[in-house]
Amino acid sequence: MSVLDLEHLAVDLPVEGRLRRVIHDVTLSIAQGEAVGVVGESGAGKSMTSRAVLRLLPHGATVEGEVRFEGRSVMAMDRTALRDYRLSDVAMIFQDPRAHINPVRTVGDFLVEALVERGDAKADALRVVTALLGVVGISDPQRRVKQYPHELSGGMLQRVMIASALAIEPKLLLADEPTTALDVTTQSDVMVSLDTQRRERGLAMLFVTHDLELAAAVCDRIAVMYAGFLVEDIPASQLHRGVQHPYTAGLLASRPSPTVRERRLFAIAGRPLSAYEVGDGCGFASRCAFANDRCRSERPALRVVGASRVACHRSEELSGQLSSHNIREATHD
Amino acid sequence: MTENVPALEVIGLRKEYRVRGAGSTTAVASSGSALLGHPSKRRAPTSLVAVDDVSFTVAQGRSLAVVGESGSGKTTVARMIVGLERPTGGQVVVGGRQRSWNQMGSRERRRRAREVQIVFQDPYSSLDPRMTIRACLDEVLRLHFDWPSERIDARIEELLDQVGLDRRQADGLPRSLSGGQRQRVAIARALASEPRVLICDEAVASLDVSIQAQVLNLLSDIREATGVSYLFISHDLAVVRQVSDDIVVMRRGQMVESGPTEQILTQPGDPYTQRLLAAIPRPGWHPTSSHDSGPEQTPSTESS
Amino acid sequence: MTSSLASRGPLSRVRSRRSGSRVDTVVVVTGAFIALLVITAVFAPWIAPSDPNFGSILSSNQGPSAAHLLGTDSFGRDILSRLIYGARLSLLGPALIIVISTSIGTVLAIACAWFGGWFDQVVSRVADILFAFPGLILAMLAVAMFGPGLVAPVIALSIAYTPYLLRVIRSEALRQRNLPYVAACYVGGLSARTICTRHILPNVTPLLIVQATLSFGYALVDLAAVSYLGLGVQPPTAEWGIMVSTGQSSILAGHPQESLFAGVMIIVTVVAFNLLGDRLAARQSTGQS
């Protein structure tokens, strides 16, 4: 049974008095213990998707479609149900821990907050979170719980955030670019903690990132978003064997490699569009090297192709042409 | 200019910051520097070394990358080279001329502006929000060249072409442009004074992957066309591999390793470089923890 | 299914931008009122129904009538005409104060931001000291030294308002000075003067306008208070502060109109300037993010 189901999720946000589309159509399920990486560039709607899961959207936002947690509609929850849902079923890890941890209270106070809110005794809660700090790789947790956020580095603070997420023993973790603000070596350390703990506890995870390779390393499946659409949902193991969507292929090919120097990098023409900027056809058509008239006029639906789901009219025709090597070769001509 | 004089030479560069009293940890962190001593002690140290004995040479037309994580001092090195910070010690030699920090009149600064230029990380704050792109380029050109208006206009068109912007965009304000386009404007502005050396301080770090590739290609085209030398300040070894001939790896203000890019990235000698390289996500990669990284003590808030 | 979501709490504060380019009624109404006031002041001789300084004792302290829309004062002068003429000095005074204090404040603020170091220290400390003196006390001191009239209080209040504007603009100029675009100008070889006048100044101007507008209201009240105390321009000159003061004697006799209408003009004008300033400030802060 799946923990989370997004069914034709569409979100509009009010901008200058008018509603503006930020997510067009996202249909996605996460099974128990499964990690799904939501990958995309700015404006793709990936962060908004994770916020919609928590129903943490700006005032005045409208949502179409459905978000279900263990079969229950999150959109239909009343105040108490929503509160319980946020307090014990899902936990979110944000990009900037410093902005989400009260700077004038100790790390321990921050960590026990949700547990105490839920009715645990403070002393018990503190024991639990202190143990958790050790688990996520923070040395000397007894001392750390008494410290203030400014005394901890960004990497440590993100681990504190992970510990606070684990503390409520959720079924689903939402991680929104949790390591983007960190150095690469710190990112690696933090990801080890997050990945190990998630696997050990069998938690489902929605991992939002702009980094395909990072997502592939810690997730079972990758959901690629572009301009508010889910364009491809592919097993992480398939990422380097057979992507089906030209955008995914382009993203893979345009990232420089630390091991090989390209004569010239592949670059997708144009800039990433925001959801409200796309016309009738495929959202990616304006930047796609393979787009034809149909792509520009008719919106492709997400359909199952092999182990993946892809929203592209031409994915069958293009299969075999989308490897990074071929894509790069094509641009050198 | 003589061909065998290096475009840029940095010799024994050092930067110390004075730290006043306790409670200065935040100031330390924002300058992105290594701290001497223990920060949690009540009395903070009186001096902190951000850059310690850094030396390198960038030959004419070559590209050197200074690589490191936050707190490595790489950005401070760049700021000292362009004159935004005053070194505590060491020398900066540009095109064979040693720079002095005692005479920084506007005539001297104007001359230096034609030697070294810089492109910053954040495309949103590195352009004057109230100046059109054209006015921004026009201002630099008029300052450095005594040209008639037609020639300046022609040069603006040429610069716009070079960085891949169209004329219509040039009459708009920066807010009408995307991050990638703004970064192109910043590059055009830096090239306007025809410098020998262009410093890119994390210039592609905040761009989307697909835009990053475009800008990296643009930078290599520009080097081919103009023969400008690059100094890349970056935390991203994958980007660095793509754009640099040589690498200097910095950590906590000091150089840990330097050499040709190909060699350093294929057979890194220093354990820190190895760790840095191992931490980059790539096909088949799995996160590993680096236990010997030492205790993370200073809060690292440097954006780079 | 469509459901509207309204989540509160600290996590829901994702940017929500309202009232961007739409017409703001408050700005339009207050702006129009202020414009009308300025026009009235400038064209007072053509607009005022009668001579502000001439009245007949026989028609003193009359209530509103067709001949005198707002009635007459104790000297039988038409109150409406005196209000219209009074707008001239009542607006000119604060305008002078604002022009002088923002000019000095801005130049010093940008210089402080640019040079920093001891210059900034000295200017800021002096500003702090001046800040400790209430404007009115300074104005009274000036009158005591140079005699009553418009000039002495205006100069004194200009000095009193400068530290306030200096502080606000300095912090914004400092923010601008530390942005990479200023560093890029510096590295580009632009002179300090060019960077300050062509880049930093235009970028602090929106804030400058807001602060000048807000300060205008306060300056008007302060100057009216000076006149009310008899230290500013002297009767029989028409000026709102003086009118409140001279009308006072008639209030007990049951003729409040002079003080009342002059007081209302002061209050309404101040409120208009403050509302306008507030609204401009709000616009500016949403426009920046």
Q: Quick check: A14 and C3 CB within 8 A?
A: no
Check: CB of residue A85 under 8 Å from CB of residue A167: no
User: Residue B278: its chain A contacts at CB < 8 A?
Assistant: 188
H or E segment and range at residue A290: none
Per-residue pLDDT band at B20 (split at 50, 70, 90)? low
Q: Above 50 in pLDDT, residue A95?
A: yes
Alpha helices in A136-176 (DSSP H): 141-144, 154-167
Distances (CA, A) of A3 to A65, A73, A107, C96: 17, 12, 30, 69
Chain B adjacent subunits, 3+ CB pairs under 8 A: A, C
Q: What is the biggest distance separating any 2 CA atoms in chain B, rounded to whole angstroms?
A: 63
Q: How many CB pairs under 8 A join B and C?
A: 66
**Domain C68-288, CATH among 2.60.40.10, 1.10.3720.10, 1.20.1730.10, 3.30.360.10:** 1.10.3720.10
Residue B129 forms contact with C (CB below 8 Å): yes
Q: How many CB pairs under 8 A join A and B?
A: 141
CB-based contacts of C148: which residues, under 8 Å, 6+ apart? Answer: C230, C231, C232, C233, C234
Give the tens place of pLDDT for each residue, B182-216.
999 999 999 999 999 999 999 999 888 889 999 99
Chain C adjacent subunits, 3+ CB pairs under 8 A: A, B
Q: Quick check: A57 and C14 CB within 8 A?
A: yes
**Predicted TM-score (pTM) of this structure:** 0.84
Per-residue pLDDT band at C12 (split at 50, 70, 90)? very low
If phi > 0 it is left, if psi is from -120 to 50 it is alpha, else beta; for residue C230 that is left
CATH 3.40.50.1000 fits A2-224, yes or no: no
CA distance A253 to chain C (A): 32
pLDDT, residue A329, reads 67
pLDDT, residue B76, reads 94
**For A210-219, B70-79, C16-25, C171-180, which range has the lowest pLDDT when averaged over its residues?**
C16-25
Q: How, if at all, do strands C2-4 and A62-69 pair?
A: antiparallel
CA distance B218 to chain C (A): 20
If phi > 0 it is left, if psi is from -120 to 50 it is alpha, else beta; for residue A45 that is left
How many other β-carbons are positioned within 10 Å of the β-carbon of residue A257?
Answer: 18
* Interval B177-186 mean pLDDT: 92
Per-residue pLDDT band at B295 (split at 50, 70, 90)? very low
CA distance B92 to chain A (A): 29
pLDDT, residue C34, reads 93
Give the tens place of pLDDT for each residue, A38-92.
999 888 899 899 999 999 988 889 999 999 999 999 999 999 999 999 988 999 9
User: Residue A14: its chain C contacts at CB < 8 A?
Assistant: 16, 18
Check: CB of residue A283 under 8 Å from CB of residue A24: yes
User: Residue C14: its chain A contacts at CB < 8 A?
Assistant: 51, 56-58
Q: Which of C1, C11, C16 sits opposite A66 (nearest CB)?
A: C1
Q: Which of C5, C18, C19 sits opposite A61 (nearest CB)?
A: C5
Residue A192 forms contact with C (CB below 8 Å): no
Q: Quick check: C186 and B109 CB within 8 A?
A: yes
pLDDT, residue B301, reads 39
**ipTM over the 0.95 cut-off:** no
Most B CBs within 10 Å, among A107, A144, A146, A183, to test the B interface:
A183
For residues B285, B291, B296, B301, the Cα torsion angle rounded to the nearest 10 degrees is: -10
Taking the CA atoms of chain C, what radius of gyration do you get in angstroms?
A: 23
The alpha carbon of A77 is separated from its chain's Cα centroid by a whole number of angstroms, namely 23
Q: Quick check: B213 and A268 CB within 8 A?
A: yes
Q: Quick check: B189 and C184 CB within 8 A?
A: yes
Q: How, if at all, do strands A221-226 and A229-235 pair?
A: antiparallel
Please give the span between the terminal C-alpha atoms of chain B, in angstroms, as a whole number: 34
Which residue in the block uniquely carries the two structure tokens 């069914």? A7
Check: CB of residue A234 under 8 Å from CB of residue A319: no
pLDDT, residue B302, reads 39
pLDDT, residue B11, reads 94
Strands (E) located in chain B: 8-18, 47-58, 63-67, 89-94, 97-98, 116-119, 197-201, 229-234, 246-251, 254-260
* Interval A126-139 mean pLDDT: 90
pLDDT, residue C286, reads 63
Chain A adjacent subunits, 3+ CB pairs under 8 A: B, C
Residue B148 forms contact with C (CB below 8 Å): no
Q: How many CB pairs under 8 A join A and C?
A: 55
Higher-pLDDT residue of C126 and A320 is C126
Domain residue ranges in chain A = 2-224, 242-332
How many other β-carbons are positioned within 10 Å of the β-carbon of residue B301?
Answer: 18
CA distance C289 to chain A (A): 14
Kindly state the percentage of chain A with pLDDT values over 90.
50
Residue B130 forms contact with C (CB below 8 Å): yes
C4-16 burial, b at 16+ Cβ within 10 Å, e below that, comes to ebebeeeebeeee
**Cα separation, A312 vs A318, whole angstroms:** 10
Q: Above 80 in pLDDT, residue A325?
A: no
Instruction: Give B57's strand partners.
Output: B9
Distances (CA, A) of C110 to B134, B221, C116: 26, 40, 10
Residue of C nearest to B140 (CA): C188
Give the residue from C267, C169, C282 showing the smallest Cα distance to C218: C267
Q: Above 70 in pLDDT, residue C265?
A: yes
Residue B114 forms contact with C (CB below 8 Å): yes
**Cα separation, A233 vs A219, whole angstroms:** 12
Encoded tokens for C275:
């509302």
Check: CB of residue B123 under 8 Å from CB of residue B211: no
Cα three-residue angle A247-A250-A256, rounded to 5 degrees: 145
The alpha carbon of B234 is separated from its chain's Cα centroid by a whole number of angstroms, namely 7
User: Residue C191: its chain B contacts at CB < 8 A?
Assistant: 106, 109
Most C CBs within 10 Å, among A59, A64, A75, A77, to test the C interface:
A59
pLDDT, residue C57, reads 76
A89-125 burial, b at 16+ Cβ within 10 Å, e below that, comes to bbbbbbbbbbebbeeeebbbbbbbbbbeeeeeeeeeb
User: Residue B241: its chain A contacts at CB < 8 A?
Assistant: 256-261
Phi, psi of C153 (to 5 degrees): -65, -35
Taking all residues of chain B, what is their mean pLDDT, rounded to a whole number?
85
Residue of B nearest to C185 (CA): B140
Which residue in the block uniquely carries the two structure tokens 């040069």? B155
CA distance C218 to chain A (A): 33
CA distance B271 to chain A (A): 12
Q: Which of C188, C192, C202 sits opposite B113 (nearest CB)?
A: C188
Kindly state the percentage of chain A with pLDDT values over 70.
98
CA distance B176 to chain A (A): 14
Q: Quick check: A189 and B287 CB within 8 A?
A: yes
Give the tens place of pLDDT for each residue, A247-285.
999 999 888 888 888 888 888 888 888 888 888 889 999
